[in-house]
Amino acid sequence: MSRRAVVVGAGPAGMLAAAVLSGAGLDEVVVLDRDELPEGPEHRRGLPQGRHAHLLMGGGLTAMEELVPGAGLRARLLAAGAHEVSLSSGTLARTPEGWLRRWRRTGPVMLTCTRALLDWTVREAVREHCRVEVRRAAAVGLTGSAARVRGVRIAAPGGGPETGLDADLVVDASGRGTRVLAWLDGLGLSGVRVRTVDAGLVNASRLYRVPPGAERFPLTVVHADPYAGRPARSAMVMPVEGDRWLVSCGGSRGGEPPADPEGFLRYALALPDPIVGRLISGAQPLTDVHLSRSTSNVRRYLEDAPRWPEGLVVLGDALATFNPAYGQGMSVAAFGARALGRELARAGDAAAPGLARRAVRSAARSVDAAWLTAVSQDVHYPGVRGGRPSAADRVVTAYTRRMTRAATGSYAAASALWDVTSMRTSPARLFRPDAILATLAGPPLPLLAQAPLTPAERRTLRDLDRTGR
Ligand SMILES: Cc1cc2nc3c(=O)[nH]c(=O)nc-3n(C[C@H](O)[C@H](O)[C@H](O)COP(=O)(O)OP(=O)(O)OC[C@H]3O[C@@H](n4cnc5c(N)ncnc54)[C@H](O)[C@@H]3O)c2cc1C
């Protein structure tokens, strides 16, 4: 009998899981997506977050490259116009404790491009390098029993009768809006604990043409301050392919950015440093301002479910989503697929007893660090729903504030933060002896009063600025 895996969702989690499964000795790997997938780097309706800035952290990129070996994902993205940005030398970052310095050393990197380019590149790389079939279809439920999932139910286009598609293994990678808990309920499995921590973040984003002369201006970010007892307010100018800037403002409950163009600019100018507003004040907008409110942290503790069926794995946003301000979701999707790959390699067979449960547990472990990072900061914002700072959060907060302060003038402290931000290492890196020492010593160099611009960048900023500052 033919052996098949079915993956629901052709986002990064689904395509990377399909890549892993294509090497697992199955006859067929079928990826279902309810959306019409474009034949190029274009925005699509089923991915509303695609209009917003998406940073791909270095750790996530490395995982993606490992999952599709030989495809040269990084090289493809760069060839298509993505930017590789060094956190240490290529970024202007204003933290709540002050501006971070720029150092000569490249250090950890991240990749910036539109989400449309990233998804299309990953999809094409997986299609070319792995035996995977992508079909347009919406999954509406699971078949099988509480003991073993045997496939998915598929809605007929146009509303005809549903059909079934059998599978030895089903991977739900259907994203933030997953119906997996209702599907499990339909099989008689309930009792999964869900936690939501919602700071009420609203993201507002707009594309601009990079003004002539500003092509090499660094990625610029004014970070939110989780510790001031005020709503988050932040903004970022990020270079993307096609000589464009993707500009995103983000604000938590009570500090939301508006969707009207004048308000968007005013919002960026009113931040503790107006640099983002000054940069875009004379730039040519290419789109309207788009808003996203799908930003809460949601964790489905599937790994603790009292019973788990054979044949079902859940990855990516379907397992956990994070406040996007921390830029983690796509990397975590890659880590989850990597966890599935490890368990498949260990079991030697996609239908091995206990594999699904082990893969879900392993994927859940790969979520922990990102969850901690996002939730431990979000609980401090006024009006947050679903959490409040614990005693442990307050201790971690005091330490990370002090470390961020040290990072304004110390490479050792800054590089610890960058290693964790770029998801190259776990947050335990913050507690390595060199990082602790640098934190306790404080910044050896004085605080910068302004962004660390080169003379040429200062001239560019002045030339672009239409605010009369
Ligand atoms: C505003 C915003 C900004 C963000 N910024 C960042 C960032 O800077 N860095 C970062 O790493 N992450 C960021 N994220 C998070 C990132 O978007 C997600 O973590 C990522 O998309 C998760 O990938 P996924 O494959 O799990 O889900 P998705 O990318 O959402 O893909 C799910 C797929 O499943 C399909 N689907 C859904 N239901 C069905 C069904 N029933 N049947 C068939 N197909 C179905 C959808 O069409 C879609 O293609 C951001 C999110 C938001 C909202």
CATH of 4-81+115-196+295-372, one of 1.10.10.410, 3.50.50.60, 3.30.70.380, 3.30.70.1350: 3.50.50.60
Residue closest by Cα to atom 37 of ligand 1: 174
Residues 6+ apart with CB under 8 A from 403: 413, 416, 417, 430, 435, 438, 439
Q: Is 443 in the pocket of ligand 1 (CB under 6 A)?
A: no
- Of 6, 32, 34, the residue with max ligand 1 atoms within 8 A of its CB, to mutate for a pocket test, comes to 34
Q: Is 421 in the pocket of ligand 1 (CB under 6 A)?
A: no
Contact between 37 and 136 under an 8 Å Cβ cutoff? The reply is yes
- The residues spanned by each domain of the chain are 4-81+115-196+295-372
Residues 6+ apart with CB under 8 A from 21: 5, 7, 29, 132, 169, 171, 340, 344, 350
Contact between 42 and 119 under an 8 Å Cβ cutoff? The reply is no
Contact between 323 and 203 under an 8 Å Cβ cutoff? The reply is no
Residues 6+ apart with CB under 8 A from 460: 213, 214, 217
First-to-last C-alpha distance (Å) of the chain: 72
What is the C-alpha separation between 226 and 96, in angstroms, rounded?
Answer: 8
303 secondary structure, DSSP code:
G
Contact between 385 and 200 under an 8 Å Cβ cutoff? The reply is yes
Ligand 1 atom nearest to CA at 176? 30
Q: Is 175 in the pocket of ligand 1 (CB under 6 A)?
A: yes
Q: What's at 299, amino acid-wise?
A: R
Residue 464 CA to ligand 1 centre (angstroms): 34
Tokens 């290492």: give the residue.
425
Q: Is 232 in the pocket of ligand 1 (CB under 6 A)?
A: no
Residue 317 CA to ligand 1 centre (angstroms): 6
Ligand 1 atom nearest to CA at 9? 34
Residue 194 CB-density burial (10 A; 0-12 exposed, 13-18 middle, 19+ buried): exposed
For helices 368-378 and 329-347, give the axis angle rounded to 10 degrees: 150
Question: DSSP letters of 390-406?
Answer: -HHHHHHHHHHHHHHHH
Residue 51 CA to ligand 1 centre (angstroms): 12
> Which pair of tokens denotes residue 161?
């009768």
What does DSSP say about strands 169-172 and 312-314: parallel, antiparallel, or unpaired? parallel
Q: Is 33 in the pocket of ligand 1 (CB under 6 A)?
A: yes
Residues 6+ apart with CB under 8 A from 40: 120
> Which pair of tokens denotes residue 211?
């003004």
pLDDT tens for the 469 residues of the chain, in order:
689 999 999 999 999 999 999 999 999 999 999 999 999 999 998 899 999 999 999 999 999 999 999 999 999 999 999 999 999 999 999 999 999 999 998 889 999 999 999 999 999 999 999 999 999 999 999 999 999 999 999 997 777 789 999 999 999 999 999 999 999 999 999 999 999 999 999 999 999 999 999 999 999 999 999 989 999 999 999 999 999 999 999 999 999 999 999 999 999 999 999 999 999 999 999 999 999 998 999 999 999 999 999 999 999 999 999 999 999 999 999 999 999 999 999 999 999 999 999 999 999 999 999 999 999 999 999 999 999 999 988 888 899 999 999 999 999 999 999 999 999 999 999 999 999 999 999 999 999 999 999 999 999 999 999 997 7
Query: In the prediction, which pLDDT does 404 show?
Result: 97
Q: Is 32 in the pocket of ligand 1 (CB under 6 A)?
A: yes
Q: What's at 314, amino acid-wise?
A: V
Residue 173 CA to ligand 1 centre (angstroms): 9
Tokens 């009207």: give the residue.
260
Element (H, E) at 73: helix 73-79
Which CA distances in Å does 223 have to 71, 316, 366? 34, 25, 25
Q: Is 122 in the pocket of ligand 1 (CB under 6 A)?
A: no
- Of 330, 367, 421, the residue with max ligand 1 atoms within 8 A of its CB, to mutate for a pocket test, comes to 330
Ligand 1 atom nearest to CA at 328? 11
Contact between 274 and 469 under an 8 Å Cβ cutoff? The reply is yes
- Of 7, 15, 33, the residue with max ligand 1 atoms within 8 A of its CB, to mutate for a pocket test, comes to 33
Q: Is 324 in the pocket of ligand 1 (CB under 6 A)?
A: yes
Contact between 20 and 334 under an 8 Å Cβ cutoff? The reply is no
Residue closest by Cα to atom 50 of ligand 1: 324
Ligand 1 atom nearest to CA at 48? 53
Q: Is 327 in the pocket of ligand 1 (CB under 6 A)?
A: yes
What is the C-alpha separation between 244 and 284, in angstroms, rounded?
Answer: 10
- Of 42, 57, 110, 176, the residue with max ligand 1 atoms within 8 A of its CB, to mutate for a pocket test, comes to 176
Neighbours of 345 (CB within 10 A): 11
Residue 334 CA to ligand 1 centre (angstroms): 12
Residues 6+ apart with CB under 8 A from 86: 106, 107, 108, 109
Residues 6+ apart with CB under 8 A from 216: none
For residue 242, report the phi and psi dihedrals to the nearest 5 degrees: 80, 30
Element (H, E) at 301: none
Q: Is 50 in the pocket of ligand 1 (CB under 6 A)?
A: no
On the CB side of 138, CA atoms within 13 Å amount to 16
Neighbours of 259 (CB within 10 A): 14
Element (H, E) at 55: strand 54-57
Q: Is 295 in the pocket of ligand 1 (CB under 6 A)?
A: yes
Ligand 1 atom nearest to CA at 315? 26
What is the C-alpha separation between 64 and 74, in angstroms, rounded?
Answer: 9
